Amino acid sequence: MEHPPEHPPAPGVAVARTRFQDPSSAVPLRALPAAALRAVWAEGYTGRQFKRDLSAGFLVGIVALPLAMALAIAVGVPPQQGLYTAIIAGFLAALLGGSRVQVAGPTAAFIVVLAPLYATFGMSGLLLSGLLAGLMLIGMGLLRMGRLIEYIPFPVTTGFTSGIATVIALLQIKDLLGLKLEGHPDHFMERLAAMLRAAHTASPWELLIGLATLAILLGPRLPKRRLARLPKWLRKIPPPLLALPLMALVAWALGRWVPGFAVDTIGTRFHTLVGGQMVAGIPQVLPSFHWPWRLPGLDGQPSGLSLGTVRMLLPSAFTVAMLGAIESLLSAVVADGMARTRHDPDAELLALGVGNVVVPFFGGIAATGAIARTATNFRFGGRTPIAAMTHALTILLAILILAPLIRFLPMASLAALLLLVAWNMSEAEHFFHTVRVAPKSDVAVLLTCYFLTVVFDMVIAVIVGIVLASLLFMRRMAHVSEGHVTRPDHRALPGPLPEGVVIYDLSGPLFFGAAERALNAMRAIGAEVRVIIFRMEQVPSADVSGLVAMEGVLREMERQRIKAIFVGLHGQTREVFERGGLQDKEGEVAFCATMVDAFKVMNARLHTYRRRDLGPIRFQVLHREKTRAAALRPADPKI
């Protein structure tokens, strides 16, 4: 059901594609960049909405600030890389995108892909893969592939999303407990084993800070009657904005006055060389331009830009591009549901690609649409891309003003924040509901994707999940397709059915998974049959396997001199049959539009039909005999 627009356009105002027009309508490529922003201008942008967007963008920027740092740290890079991503990619995606309220930046979904990538190829490989992924996303947008997200089954997306959430949660245990691990294991089981071995290194102070942060973050989930007792101004503060500064202050105070208290902070964990001096935490400078391939790789040497490097990073870049596209378009769909608008998926992919191409030159990692930040943007009043652009500028100002204070944030607090993100991302309620109510085949796909994501790799999980879901879908469609002999006294027939004539009803798509089932009942047709009328009105489509199967049936019917009449062949099925050479053949095959026409053809020629008594009809569904010319061609002596 389509919702009415939140603010209908004034009379005479141009209609905006991202709100009113049919999303399937084709638009020229030149209309894709900044589709949402141009739609807003076309409808008329008011000063009142501008103030709302500025306010929403500022608040979203404050909420996104610790998230961007925490996500970068989870990948393994310094926290400022996540901030640079939110600034540059977030601004460009909003400026050029096709969604009115979407906010882009680093997201939790990327952690399971980017962390192993950084551990394997270093900073150079990480940024280059993001650049290549951006080029792929631009290509997907230009090729109008934005609607492909509709073809990824729900059990696949739910399975790998819940799997990603499980991996993210495990990654946070290290900082939440202050564990000192030996090495950097890449896979789930190895990482879990390393944490168990390092259990004796856990710090009660780190756990105390982490649990206190988590308690504050979970405050809004308290019963409403308890929340009502809190001051109104306190209830309006976003939980991360309250929890993280408060825990930084508590950790600083305990460190000064409690002997033996020590927790890791951004300042103690990360250091950056700026102007010949080592700066603790985040440098108070603007993002600087540099060539990604000149940054150090895993061995400390620049990877360089070569065909070999691109070939090595291409699989990882493809994974980043696909995950980015899926996450961004899913987030845009959620935004549409809240704002009652329609996003342009091709413009969104194009904008996301541009952001991911530009951001590596300033040290940023891969970015995509962020569902939680998008929802926060809408909740605070953001209704246009101006809000998301303001969010990026807010983070930029925070770097220039608050960088000296950010270094006091405890790592355990950031781990607690990501634990909550992982829980929200897991959608555990949907996961278990699907397991309870979905068909067993969908549950198998869901659990397979989840297991493969956790234990092996998200790429393997998505590929296996889509292939498995496709096979199960084809099996279901094969059960939909069927064929049977119609009773001679059926009321829908235009007249009495003569002896020696049967009507074979086909329904459902005639494709490679269904041809055997659809034509199988023909093997039971009796020896007295001289004419078979194929009713094809309920066959919407066919592929070459269906064509080959029908050719095999007709070849056997010709051998036994049984005549064929096709009724109601239409659309794509008719095109396939015509291209395959099936056409009217005097005395053998006839094509009729209706059953009335078929009865006229049959009655005019029935007395001339004589069948050979060669027993029941025999044919192989997926076997096609050679043509006469090929059969007469001499065999190759080398074979």
- Start-to-end C-alpha separation, the chain: 62
613: left (phi > 0), else alpha (psi -120 to 50), else beta? beta
Which residues are CB-contacts of 235 (< 8 A; sequence separation ≥ 6)? 227
User: Other CB atoms closer than 10 Å to residue 582's CB: what's the count?
Assistant: 19
**What is the predicted pLDDT for the residue at 130?**
94
Tens-digit pLDDT profile for residues 252-264: 999 999 888 989 9
The residue type of 47 is G
How confident is the prediction for the chain on average, in pLDDT? 82
Domain boundaries, the chain: 46-427, 482-625
Average pLDDT estimate for 263-274: 84
For 47-95, the pLDDT digits (tens) are: 899 999 999 999 889 888 888 998 999 898 999 999 999 999 999 999 9
Rg of the chain over Cα atoms, rounded to whole angstroms, equals: 32
- Name residue, tokens 């541009």: 354
How do the residues of the chain divide into helix, strand and coil, expressed in percent and rounded to 5?
A: 60, 10, 30
Q: How far apart are CA 422 and CA 378, in angstroms?
A: 21
pLDDT tens for 153-199 read 888 888 888 888 888 888 889 889 988 887 777 678 888 888 899 89
CA angle 94, 100, 102 (to 5 degrees): 60
506 three-class SS: strand
User: How do residues 437-490 score in pLDDT, each as one tens digit?
Assistant: 888 888 988 999 899 888 887 777 878 888 888 888 777 777 777 777 776 666
In whole angstroms, what is the distance from residue 388 CA to residue 238 CA?
17
Amino acid identity of 488?
A: P
Q: Which residues are bridge partners to 104 per DSSP?
A: 369
Per-residue pLDDT, 224: 76
Residues 279 and 28: their CA atoms lie apart, in Å, by 49
Lowest mean pLDDT among 358-367, 390-399, 521-530: 521-530
In 3D, which of 21, 15, 6 has the Cα closest to residue 342?
Answer: 21
Query: Among candidates 445, 452, 11, 414, which has minimal Cα distance to 188?
Result: 452
pLDDT for 622 beyond 70: no
**Rounded distance between C-alpha atoms, residue 87 and residue 396, angstroms:** 6
Contact by Cβ (8 Å): 362, 392:
no
Give the chain's length: 639
Task: Indicate the residue type of 157.
Answer: T
pLDDT tens across 525-542, in order?
777 788 888 988 888 888
Type of residue at 503: I
Residue written as token pair 């789930």 = 188
Supply the DSSP string of 450-485, one letter for each residue. HHHHHHT-HHHHHHHHHHHHHHHHHHHHHHH-EEEE
CA dist 108 and 152 (Å) reads 20
Cα–Cα distance between 300 and 29 in angstroms, integer? 42
Instruction: Give kind and range of the element (H or E) at residue 376.
Output: helix 371-379
- Torsions phi, psi for 591 (to 5 deg): -120, 125
Question: Is the pLDDT reported for residue 105 higher than 90?
Answer: yes
Q: What is the pTM of this model?
A: 0.73
Give residue 604's region: left, alpha or beta (phi > 0; psi -120 to 50). alpha
Which residue's structure tokens are 């998926």? 345
C-alpha to C-alpha distance for 563 and 556, rounded to whole angstroms? 11
CA-CA-CA-CA torsion sign (153, 158, 163, 164): positive
Q: How far is Cα 38 from Cα 41, in angstroms, rounded to an integer?
A: 5
Q: At what angle do helices 79-96 and 47-75 cross, to 10 degrees?
A: 140
* pLDDT greater than 80 at residue 570: yes
The answer to whether 368 and 359 are in contact (CB under 8 A) is no
Token readout for 384 is: 């246009």
Q: What is the dihedral of CA 456, 460, 466, 467, to 10 degrees?
A: -110
Specify the CATH number for 482-625; select among 3.40.50.150, 3.30.750.24, 3.40.1160.10, 3.50.50.60: 3.30.750.24
- Closest of 551, 541, 536 to residue 576, by C-alpha: 541
User: What is the strand order of the sheet 482-486 is part of?
Assistant: 482-486, 501-507, 531-538, 563-567, 589-592
Local structure of 533: helix, strand or coil = strand
Distances (CA, A) of 593 to 15, 292, 387: 44, 65, 59
Does the pLDDT value for residue 618 go beyond 70?
Answer: no
